Amino acid sequence: MSSSDYIGYAPLYHFSCDCESFAITPDVYIQRLVGNDDVELNELTTHERSKLSYDVQYWLVVKDAASKHSLQVRVNDWMLALWVVRPTRLELRFLFKNFPDGRKGFSRLCPIDWNREDVEHGPFTSTELHQAQKVFAVFESITPESRLGMALSLTYEAISQHRWHAGIVLYSAAVETLLTNDRKERVTLQLAKAYSALVAPGAADRSKAEKALRAAYVVRSDIVHGRNQLEEKNNERLRALALWAAITRDIWQVVVVEPAALQALQDTDPVRKAFLDKR
């Protein structure tokens, strides 16, 4: 190992699965326990240590292995991969890093306040973990500076948001980054057509998808123009946030299983438009 190599450890809060360990890649894997010699807990408060032992059953372990992505990006990619498969209360709070010369690193992460309108409870099954493994492989192939790399970053920022209106704006930015393909066409119309073409197989489904995107975009526009009318009662705001989360997740679910979609949406506007118009 070189002096820049490391092993990273991320405790997975509120995560459970039906196996003792799971290899995502040869250098990224989940394991149930991490030894006291592997992580330095002195940076944590007594309360944080107690919560860690109570809320954490599994750890994500990441070896450097000459990856083009940083530890933070790889951890985020795995979290997003699980979110694409199924949204849960999974949360990341700390990152620990061990270097071959004995140095230990520690980082605090921004906590996530999960939307209760967009959470499915229960442990991840082996099938779901293998699905997430395939999603992770696609995310690892995406260059951070590319169009889809920016969309990934915006998606992660959206699911990390504590404020519903900021989350909606970030989700909509991610969707625009994923789907915009024409500078002249109105954004709402363009996104509704692109979204329905990408995710809906039949005419009836396309109509439903277009209506969902248009309804979501009305809320987004009201927020950025200072005209929001949604109220806290009846969870209107959280349901609007959940709709944007579902739309964004729908798009990623297509991108990660269709190589043609991945390639086209990573390309220029004309290539995107030609791909979407043919669907």
Tens-place pLDDT, residues 212-266 = 999 999 999 999 998 877 777 768 899 999 999 999 999 999 999 999 999 999 9
pLDDT, tens only, 6-38: 899 999 999 999 999 999 999 999 999 777 677
Burial of 222 (0-12, 13-18, 19+ CB in 10 A): middle
| Residue 179 is assigned to a structural domain of this protein | yes
Where a domain ends, among 128, 155, 170? 128
Same domain membership, residue 249 and residue 197? yes
More confident site: 5 or 117: 117
What local confidence, expressed as pLDDT, does residue 1 receive? 41
Same domain membership, residue 104 and residue 14? yes
Would you say residue 171 has pLDDT above 90? Answer: yes
User: Model pTM?
Assistant: 0.93
Cα dihedral across residues 204, 207, 212, 213: positive or negative: positive
Would you say residue 98 has pLDDT above 80? Answer: yes
Structural domain containing residue 150: 142-278
Residues 82-101 have a mean pLDDT of: 93
What local confidence, expressed as pLDDT, does residue 3 receive? 44
Would you say residue 57 has pLDDT above 50? Answer: yes
What local confidence, expressed as pLDDT, does residue 214 receive? 96
Same domain membership, residue 122 and residue 193? no
- Pairwise CA distance, residues 95 & 126, whole Å: 25
- Tell me the percentage of the chain whose pLDDT exceeds 70: 96
Query: Which residue type occupies 6?
Result: Y
Residues 139-168 have a mean pLDDT of: 94
Cα dihedral across residues 41, 1, 58, 81: positive or negative: positive
Q: Quick one: CA torsion of 180, 184, 190, 191, rounded to 10 degrees?
A: 40
Where a domain ends, among 101, 128, 155? 128
| Residue 168 is assigned to a structural domain of this protein | yes
